[in-house]
């Protein structure tokens, strides 16, 4: 009787013949294996041990200076039909892509070990979870995958039960940017990546599997794979409400996921389920139930400090792998915004000189188990997931976009998510601060045509469902003095409370052409010293500015041609028409 692992064994044999490693190691995920990997990398210099007194079991990895972020221009979706990939992706024909990248894989592991990493995205026993196997020649990748996924023997056993898995082949190659590609073959559930050791390009369970391939799987199977945090909000009565929120990379997802309520919220708690990826599936009760497919955090270090995210800072003082941060004289990790210490060595290992730029790379990272977070909840391991009450979209916008608004209904909410725009950050290569459309924060991660993706989102609105309400937030509005108008961080709890109370039918709002906005009286502003004029600006709709915005949104939707759903075009036309009508006094809408 053939084993369900025969296909896996055959694939490992094929890759071994292609890449020609000196040895093959099947990872079991054990503590002993992890320690051996750390010792190996300490011997080779791939890791540097940090101060064992202040940061026990913490290590620093420095990547090549040309390998520090996602490379979207070298990332391809290789579906059979170019239209299925869509204009939101770079496309290459599968046969051409396989030939091009396999030529680079030929013999690339000579002198190296080939590691076979069975892993599960999500709790091992969750019906929402999916498995994969990554083959790599990077012990750094193995160590990170152990933290970020459920990796090893139990995952292999689930693969044998399921009889299916996503195949991921990775090699650092020679780290030449001219010989670097990240290829996705969604119809084959296959990923091939070469020439990079950086997180999102090399930890194939993360963006490659959990978003690009999973989004394709999710459309086929009737669920959603999204670039979203998941958090629980517990009120003083002990009731917990879960929300999912989509922001582009480096726009505050981790900070929000680990938020500590301000003093104005005694008895309130925030529980962290996940900070980056959310898989949602309709439940028997009509609600969307969500899991975090990851087991760890691969967070941006700069800006993480005692003021911005004390929960994150506290979890990084043991058992953490840091990538491209600076170090102090006594070998403690350091980055801009940490708030203590002084760097002596920068992220490239040079004596720190401000003339060379920041001490830590702007996209430097930490990899740490989610269980080390003080706000982590055991519900993150619940196989059923958690029920989602609200979905929040947001981006980095210095002007125009209000602090928060609520969509009119699910279709309008899908339009709000599709229309998202954000100013770019250091998480991707290229210019910083440029406005680009980033639908649902999935621009770099959706594994198929955005027009089909919008249609898939719309398909969840059917009889018998209890879909989450959809909101949009903007923590990054600036005044004429160039300073942020909203304090953000813990005070974002004030916005979350309004969102939850809207979901419960208990909070008021005013109706505007772009959605329902709170009035100042609808928000708990106790203890905040924000001028009334600034709050008014944060909660006002600039109709002329939004009319121009919606003209641009229409052009964006048109870029997907006939695949853009008609329902979305109608909703867009409806909103644009409302913005260009003579202004009426804002109408109060009923709570909820």
377 annotated as ligand-binding: no
Rounded CA separation 72/75 (Å): 5
131 annotated as ligand-binding: no
- Tokens 């309709």 belong to 282
Rounded CA separation 103/410 (Å): 47
73 annotated as ligand-binding: no
251 annotated as ligand-binding: yes
587 annotated as ligand-binding: no
Q: What is the DSSP string of 234-252?
A: E-TTS-EEEEEEE--TTSS
Q: Which token pair is 150?
A: 């459920």
Rounded CA separation 103/561 (Å): 35
363 annotated as ligand-binding: yes
State the DSSP H helix or E strand holding residue 326, giving kind and residue range, or none if neither: strand 326-328
492 annotated as ligand-binding: yes
Rounded CA separation 465/502 (Å): 18
Which three-class secondary structure string do you get for 400-415?
CCCCEEECCCHHHHHH
C-alpha distance across the termini of the chain, in Å: 58
132 annotated as ligand-binding: no
489 annotated as ligand-binding: yes
Q: How many CB atoms lie within 10 A of CB 565?
A: 24
592 annotated as ligand-binding: no
222 annotated as ligand-binding: no
- Out of 27, 78, 120, 251, the active site residue is 251
Using only C-alpha atoms, the chain has a radius of gyration, in whole angstroms, of: 24
Which three-class secondary structure string do you get for 137-201?
CCHHHHHHHHHHCEECHHHHHHHHHHCCCEEEEEECCCCCHHHCEEEEEHHHCEEEEECCCCHHH
Q: What is the DSSP string of 119-152?
A: EEES-TT-TT-EEEEEEES-HHHHHHHHHHSEES
254 annotated as ligand-binding: yes
CA-based torsion, 196, 197, 200, 204: positive or negative? positive
* SS3 at position 371: helix
Beta strand 113-121 with 23-26: parallel, antiparallel or unpaired? parallel
478 annotated as ligand-binding: no
- Tokens 């940017």 belong to 177
State the DSSP H helix or E strand holding residue 220, giving kind and residue range, or none if neither: helix 214-221
Under 8 Å CB-to-CB from 227, ≥6 apart: which residues? Answer: 211, 246, 276, 277, 278, 440, 441, 442, 445
Q: Which token pair is 306?
A: 């005692």
276 annotated as ligand-binding: yes
The answer to whether residue 251 is catalytic is yes
199 annotated as ligand-binding: yes
Q: Which residue blocks in 261-409 are alpha helix, DSSP H?
A: 310-315
Note whether 478 and 421 are within 8 A (CB): no
Rounded CA separation 556/569 (Å): 11
Beta strand 365-369 with 288-291: parallel, antiparallel or unpaired? unpaired
249 annotated as ligand-binding: yes
- Tokens 């945090």 belong to 229
292 annotated as ligand-binding: no
Q: Which token pair is 468?
A: 């989450």
Q: How many CA atoms lie within 13 A of 232 on its CB side?
A: 22
Catalytic sites, residue numbers: 251
Annotated binding site for substrate: 70, 198-200, 249, 363-365
Q: What residue numbers does the annotated binding site cover?
A: 70, 198-200, 207, 227, 249-255, 276, 363-365, 396, 489-492
Binding-site residue positions for Mn(2+): 207, 227, 276
The binding site for GTP consists of 250-255, 365, 396, 489-492
């Amino acid at each position: 009787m053939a084993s369900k692992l025969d296909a896996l064994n055959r694939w490992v044999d094929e890759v071994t013949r292609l890449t020609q490693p000196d040895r093959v190691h099947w990872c079991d995920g054990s503590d002993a294996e992890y320690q051996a990997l750390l010792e190996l990398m300490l011997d080779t210099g791939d890791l540097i041990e940090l101060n064992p007194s202040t940061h026990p079991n913490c290590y620093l990895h420095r990547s090549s200076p040309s390998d520090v972020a996602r490379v979207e221009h070298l990332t391809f979706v290789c579906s059979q039909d170019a239209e299925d990939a869509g204009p939101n992706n770079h496309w290459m024909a599968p046969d051409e892509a396989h030939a091009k990248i396999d030529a680079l894989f030929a013999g690339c592991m000579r002198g190296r070990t080939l590691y076979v990493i069975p892993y599960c995205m999500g709790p091992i026993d969750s019906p929402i979870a999916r498995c994969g196997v990554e083959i790599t020649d990077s012990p750094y990748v193995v160590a990170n995958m152990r933290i970020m996924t459920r990796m090893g023997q139990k995952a292999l056993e689930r693969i044998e039960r399921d009889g299916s898995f996503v195949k991921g082949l990775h090699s650092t190659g020679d780290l030449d940017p001219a010989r670097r590609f990240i290829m996705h073959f969604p119809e084959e559930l296959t990923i091939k990546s070469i020439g990079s050791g950086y997180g999102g390009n090399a930890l194939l369970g993360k963006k490659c599997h959990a978003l690009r391939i999973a989004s394709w799987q999710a459309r086929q199977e009737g669920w959603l794979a999204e670039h979203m945090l998941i958090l629980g909000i517990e009120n003083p009565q002990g009731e917990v409400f879960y929300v999912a929120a989509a922001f582009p990379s480096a726009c505050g997802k981790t900070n929000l996921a680990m938020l500590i309520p301000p003093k104005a919220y005694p008895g309130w708690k925030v529980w962290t389920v996940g900070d980056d990826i959310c898989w949602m599936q309709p439940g028997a009760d009509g609600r969307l139930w969500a899991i975090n497919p990851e087991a760890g955090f691969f967070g941006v270090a700069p800006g993480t400090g005692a003021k911005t995210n004390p929960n994150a800072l506290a979890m990084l003082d043991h058992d953490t792998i840091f990538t491209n941060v600076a170090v102090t004289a006594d070998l403690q990790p350091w980055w801009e915004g940490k708030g203590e210490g002084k760097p002596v060595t920068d992220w490239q290992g040079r004596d720190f000189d401000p003339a060379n730029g920041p001490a830590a790379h702007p996209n430097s990272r930490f990899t740490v188990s989610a269980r080390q977070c003080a706000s982590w909840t055991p519900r993150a391991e619940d196989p059923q997931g958690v029920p989602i009450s609200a979905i929040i979209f947001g981006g980095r916008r210095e002007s125009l976009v209000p602090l928060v608004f609520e969509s009119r209904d699910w279709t309008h909410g899908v339009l709000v998510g599709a229309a998202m725009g954000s100013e770019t950050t250091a998480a991707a290569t290229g210019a910083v601060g440029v406005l680009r459309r980033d639908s649902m924060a999935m621009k770099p991660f959706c594994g198929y045509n955005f027009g089909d993706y919008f249609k898939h989102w719309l398909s969840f609105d059917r009889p018998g469902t209890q879909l989450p309400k959809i909101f949009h937030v903007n923590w990054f509005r600036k005044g004429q003095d160039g300073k942020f108008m909203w304090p953000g961080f813990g005070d974002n709890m004030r916005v979350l409370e309004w969102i939850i109370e809207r979901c419960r039918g208990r909070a008021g709002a005013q109706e505007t052409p772009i959605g329902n906005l709170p009035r100042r009286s609808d928000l708990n502003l106790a203890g905040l010293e924000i001028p009334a004029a600034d709050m008014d600006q944060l909660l006002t709709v600039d109709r002329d500015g939004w009319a121009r915005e919606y003209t641009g949104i229409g052009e964006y939707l048109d870029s997907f041609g006939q695949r853009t759903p008609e329902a979305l075009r109608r909703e867009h036309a409806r909103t644009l028409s409302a913005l260009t009508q003579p202004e009426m006094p804002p109408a109060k809408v009923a709570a909820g």
